[in-house]
Chain A
Amino acid sequence: MPKESKTRNSKNILKRKLSQPESIPPRRKIQKVSSPSSKGPKVERSSRKPSSLESVSDPNELQWIDKYAPTCSSDLCINPQKLKQVKEVLYDMVTGKSSKKLLVLTGPAGSSKSTSIKVLANEIIDGMALGRRDEYGLSGETDLLSSGFEGSDTANNRWIEYIDTGSVLGTNQSDQFDEFLTDVKYRVGPNLSVILIEELPNIFHYDTLVKFRNKIRQWIYSEAVMPPLVICLTEVEYISDEGTRDYSYNIENNLTIDTLLGKDIVNSAPVQSIKFNSIANRFVRKTIGQIIKQERTIFNQIPVKEVSTFLDEVVKIGDIRSIIFNLQMWATNYQRDQTWYTRENQINLFHAIGKVIHSSSDFEGLSKDERNYNSIEQVLLNYTNNQLLNLAILENYSIYNDGEYSISTASEIVDGLSTNDLLTGEANREYGIRSTRIQLQGIPASHTTRRARIKFPRHFKMIRQFNKTNIAIRSYQKYIEHSSFQDLNLIDGYYLPLIYNRRLKTRYSYNRLGGKFTEIFADEEAATTDEPETGNSFYDVDQFQIDITDKIAELEKGGESDEEGELSEEIENSDEDDSFGDDDDLDEGFSSDPELDVLISQGRV
């Protein structure tokens, strides 16, 4: 199944829609061209309607990615165990054996997520209802097409994919998703299909995200018999070009299953999630081997040694789509001694940290200087989120050699990072990592094994806590005591609970204003700011919070009658009072719903 890798924004959705036709016809060709695999059961698709495009294109002009698209599960480029797991879950969902309503596949791009689902859907459902497909296959496809369906081009496909056309057709995007799910609900019985959501509505728009989640909630808690719903999510880290101060990890810059669906959905009973990893080399090699065998006319012209060196390089990418693209471009344009650009496409944060701190193992044989230079160059080329990288280096420089090196070296590293923070532009990208590498190169590594694991910077955990504290103190400042923020935080916040808890007989005790001081540690995985941590929430029961709520209620009641009396003096404020009431609702909301509160605060702060 051809699919460009996605960046999910509305511009691309538009582009995708326009480029969609070209992605359809090639798939139909497959069956007529040389069979990509010799083994495994093959489903002959005889009922395909010939199209004009089909007669034009010659199989040899096809991109290999389409030519060798898998048609049965044994062809899939995936770890067989992962495949088995997905298959079992999907089978139980299709047959109604399990109570799971939603399957979420997450993983990097090009790890066979959606392809697996499509192939498996056909196999499982066809296997169940052999012989019935020609009767029902065509029903209702024409009118569905207009409201965003793919997969109906071939009557035999047992999956329906959501295509977001909102920006093209002018319909409201969030409504479109709504409609889609409402329509496909009836894809049960003889019409049974797997519903695949790979493209998402514009979930970066907060309201659309809420609608999306609500619709998913409705779906998974519905009593009716539902077709199996699958979401394939390529987890992406975006590079924020916004101001760095309020930069935090949320759906804006980090699309993961948690930021998309929210923890409550992810952890609910009817939802199953499976995490895919980059495809391991041996599975890639198997698939690539098949292709090389098929394309022997091309590969026969290339020395075997060259092919194997190239493969060694290219399989590192771990993205099957990208590997095949690279392979085709390299092989069809092969010239002796020509090096084709096959660098890693994008290295992730943890790789980048490793390359800066330990230097890259790719340049083992080179001299120290060259090795440093190349390692840094590799990071600069392939990793762009330098704000995050610098924070991460600060977090991790101390693991080098298990922290056994002189404090003066460490101080130079931190000094470099600190100076780096003052710089702007290109210098800001390079100074910190270069100076870190240079400082660390001088230390003989006595420990060959790296004991300490690389950690994700805890900056975002800090920001989250910071926001919580900020909101708590601000609302106290707003409603109870109008002193300066820092007075309240630094002085009153600590003394007041001590005084009040002794002096006043309140139902609950007062806690440290803005929450207790909690140590913040780094984790090995990226944390999301979407949800508050459970457990240490200071919204639990705190007398300060109750005082604030009381005060708000009092203000709402008192405010109106008060205003009548002093109307003459408050003229200029009268229209502000309307919005005042609204905001109170908002604030009351947050005391009962911390999740909403965090989201609001992120939008606002």
Chain B
Amino acid sequence: MSLWVDKYRPKNLGSLSYHGTITQNLQALARSGDFPHLLIYGPSGAGKKTRIYATLNEIFGSQVEKLKIDVKTFVTSSNRKLEFNVLSSAYHLEITPSDMGNNDRVVIQDLLKDIASIEQVDFNNQSSSKTKHRFKVVIINEADSLSRDAQAALRRTMEKYSSNIRLILVCNSISNIIPPIKSRTLLIRIPSPSTEEISSILSHVARKESVKFSSTNEAEINKFLGTLADNSNRNLRKALLSFETVAMQNETIALNNSSLSIINLDWEVLIRNLSVTIRQNRNVATLAKVRVTMYELLSHCIPARTILKTLLFNLLELFTQQTLIEELVDLGSVFDERLSLGQKSIFHLEGFVAKAMVAIDNALS
């Protein structure tokens, strides 16, 4: 019933299938029963959350998987009511600062103070184990989206309440995290799994689920799973979900034409079409057409940076001239910076497209 991505998610550190050394470190950490504040980073779909929960599971037992949602309300100084969700188990809380908008500093300070002021009582471990967990774990998702303000506040909180709270910050990249926080946390990088690792996981799932392929030839199956893994940009979550989708759509998966059976994401298709349009027609009218799609993507909450990055990579695949590729990458980084500095992303997205068109024109003529 549950999705493959959940069904085959390792529940404890022992069953993790890749990044052996990281697993060993985490096991050592779990055995000690205590740990410093953690900053876990890496691209999405690499298995950050899986590893965090596996570690917590090791420390606190399966109780950490019994989650409930709370909605906390918070009144800001300007009297606006703000609410955000807190996911919690008996031993930990999980929050996402993007829920809090611009008031993340006050919210996070208040919340952590609240939690820290209550000493955690560890009933389950009272007699059996020598290690008592007198702290509560707070997982902060998307920590890189915390404002500078909030990060600065966090730094004080981390020291002040370190006896009662352990923070686990999760983010994709630490470039937005201020140095004081980096210095107060143990940094653990979870890299993306390699395509080989992904395809071996896929083939494991395929065996367990007895997925039918049009041929029983092991090499052909592996080739197909390899394409699938390639296509996922080394994002395991995406690979598993797209594999399950393919398996659901077809009784038996045809191996002879793998490009047909792979199902691409809708927004990725939109962006790929954009890049093709840009290659074919470069004029003012096309710019206006591109704008329609840009707004379409933005309206579906696709982050502007994701759009820019995907479009750039798609364009790079279409051209071979070395100088053009260099120029496109240069443009991509210029407009990526502008996206972070500016207010309305449409200006910069269209700016990139327009400049890229000129660059392509110059290179082809």
Residues of chain A within 8 A (CB-CB) of B260 are none
Question: Cβ of B3 < 8 Å from any Cβ of A?
Answer: yes
Q: Are A411 and B301 in contact (CB under 8 A)?
A: no
Give A243-281 as 1s and 0s: 1 = Cβ < 8 Å from B's Cβ atoms: 111000000000000000000000000000000000000
> In the complex, what residue of chain A is closest to B283 when comparing beta carbons?
A407
A-B contacts besides A407-B358, A484-B96, A572-B115, 12 pairs, CB < 8 Å: A398-B288, A403-B288, A411-B351, A465-B299, A469-B299, A478-B85, A483-B49, A485-B98, A495-B241, A496-B241, A520-B296, A569-B123
Residues of chain A within 8 A (CB-CB) of B285 are 398, 403
Q: Are A499 and B70 in contact (CB under 8 A)?
A: no
Min CB–CB distance B98 → chain A (angstroms): 7
Q: B67-83: which residues lie under 8 A (CB-CB) from chain A?
A: 67-73, 82-83
Max chain A Cβ within 10 angstroms of own Cβ: one of B123, B306, B358: B358
Q: Are A469 and B301 in contact (CB under 8 A)?
A: yes
A411-B357, A566-B90 known; A421-B238 Cβ under 8 A: no
Max chain A Cβ within 10 angstroms of own Cβ: one of B123, B265, B266, B301: B301
Min CB–CB distance A225 → chain B (angstroms): 44
Residues of chain B within 8 A (CB-CB) of A569 are 90, 123
Min CB–CB distance B302 → chain A (angstroms): 7
The B interface is mostly helix, strand or loop, or mixed, namely helix
A469-B299, A494-B265, A494-B266 known; A421-B338 Cβ under 8 A: yes
Question: Cβ of B31 < 8 Å from any Cβ of A?
Answer: no
Min CB–CB distance B235 → chain A (angstroms): 7
Q: Are A517 and B351 in contact (CB under 8 A)?
A: no
> In the complex, what residue of chain A is closest to B82 when comparing beta carbons?
A604
Complex-state Cα separation, A519 to B296, whole angstroms: 5
Q: Are A517 and B266 in contact (CB under 8 A)?
A: yes
Q: Are A514 and B300 in contact (CB under 8 A)?
A: yes
Question: Cβ of A136 < 8 Å from any Cβ of B?
Answer: no
Question: Cβ of B272 < 8 Å from any Cβ of A?
Answer: no
Question: Cβ of B174 < 8 Å from any Cβ of A?
Answer: no
> In the complex, what residue of chain B is closest to A502 when comparing beta carbons?
B248
> In the complex, what residue of chain B is closest to A603 when comparing beta carbons?
B80
Complex-state Cα separation, A470 to B235, whole angstroms: 23
Contact of B355 among A403, A415, A465, A518 (CB under 8 A): A415
Min CB–CB distance B319 → chain A (angstroms): 17
Q: Are A577 and B70 in contact (CB under 8 A)?
A: yes
Question: Cβ of B218 < 8 Å from any Cβ of A?
Answer: no
Complex-state Cα separation, A528 to B31, whole angstroms: 59
Q: Are A512 and B344 in contact (CB under 8 A)?
A: no
Chain A contacts to B: CB under 8 angstroms = 243-245, 390-391, 394-395, 398, 403-405, 407-408, 410-411, 413-415, 417-422, 458-459, 461-463, 465-466, 469-470, 473-474, 477-479, 482-487, 489-492, 494-496, 498-499, 502-503, 512, 514-515, 517-521, 555, 559, 562, 566, 568-569, 571-573, 576-577, 579-580, 583, 604-605
Q: Are A407 and B265 in contact (CB under 8 A)?
A: no
Complex-state Cα separation, A463 to B346, whole angstroms: 12
Contact of B347 among A394, A403, A562 (CB under 8 A): A394
Question: Cβ of B88 < 8 Å from any Cβ of A?
Answer: yes
Min CB–CB distance B190 → chain A (angstroms): 14
Complex-state Cα separation, A494 to B44, whole angstroms: 17
Min CB–CB distance A540 → chain B (angstroms): 18
Q: Are A482 and B344 in contact (CB under 8 A)?
A: no
Residues of chain B within 8 A (CB-CB) of A489 are 300-302
Complex-state Cα separation, A515 to B267, whole angstroms: 13
Contact of A421 among B72, B293, B344 (CB under 8 A): B344
13 residue pairs of the A-B complex, CB under 8 angstroms, read A394-B347, A403-B283, A418-B351, A477-B85, A484-B96, A484-B142, A490-B267, A491-B265, A502-B249, A520-B295, A521-B292, A604-B83, A605-B101
Question: Cβ of B244 < 8 Å from any Cβ of A?
Answer: yes
Q: Are B241 and A490 in contact (CB under 8 A)?
A: no
Complex-state Cα separation, A473 to B283, whole angstroms: 36
Question: Cβ of B132 < 8 Å from any Cβ of A?
Answer: no
Min CB–CB distance A475 → chain B (angstroms): 10
Q: Are A418 and B301 in contact (CB under 8 A)?
A: no
Q: Are A414 and B244 in contact (CB under 8 A)?
A: no
A403-B288, A418-B347, A568-B123 known; A491-B301 Cβ under 8 A: no
Q: Are A421 and B270 in contact (CB under 8 A)?
A: no
Contact of B346 among A245, A459, A494, A566 (CB under 8 A): A459
Q: B209-240: which residues lie under 8 A (CB-CB) from chain A?
A: 235, 237-238
Contact of B296 among A514, A518, A577 (CB under 8 A): A518
Question: Cβ of B287 < 8 Å from any Cβ of A?
Answer: yes
> In the complex, what residue of chain B is closest to A465 when comparing beta carbons?
B299
Complex-state Cα separation, A591 to B342, whole angstroms: 34
Give B48-92 as 1s and 0s: 1 = Cβ < 8 Å from A's Cβ atoms: 010000000000000000011111110000000011010110100
Question: Cβ of B197 < 8 Å from any Cβ of A?
Answer: no
> In the complex, what residue of chain A is closest to B101 when comparing beta carbons?
A605
Complex-state Cα separation, A604 to B73, whole angstroms: 12
> In the complex, what residue of chain A is closest to B87 when comparing beta carbons?
A482
Contact of B70 among A487, A517, A518, A576 (CB under 8 A): A576
Question: Cβ of B327 < 8 Å from any Cβ of A?
Answer: no
A410-B287, A573-B70, A583-B71 known; A520-B303 Cβ under 8 A: no
Give B322-365 as 1s and 0s: 1 = Cβ < 8 Å from A's Cβ atoms: 00000000000001001001111011101100110110010000
Q: Are B354 and A517 in contact (CB under 8 A)?
A: no
Contact of A414 among B45, B263, B287 (CB under 8 A): B287
Q: B292-314: which residues lie under 8 A (CB-CB) from chain A?
A: 292-293, 295-303, 306
Residues of chain B within 8 A (CB-CB) of A577 are 70
Q: Are B69 and A479 in contact (CB under 8 A)?
A: yes
Min CB–CB distance B117 → chain A (angstroms): 9
Contact of B267 among A243, A419, A461, A517 (CB under 8 A): A517
Contact of B83 among A463, A487, A571, A583 (CB under 8 A): A583
Residues of chain A within 8 A (CB-CB) of B115 are 572
A245-B343, A414-B347 known; A478-B69 Cβ under 8 A: yes
Complex-state Cα separation, A484 to B94, whole angstroms: 11
Contact of B284 among A395, A398, A605 (CB under 8 A): A398
Q: Are B293 and A404 in contact (CB under 8 A)?
A: no
Give B77-121 as 1s and 0s: 1 = Cβ < 8 Å from A's Cβ atoms: 000001101011010001010110110000000000011001000
Residues of chain B within 8 A (CB-CB) of A559 are 68
Complex-state Cα separation, A231 to B348, whole angstroms: 43
Complex-state Cα separation, A604 to B141, whole angstroms: 21
Q: Are B292 and A519 in contact (CB under 8 A)?
A: yes
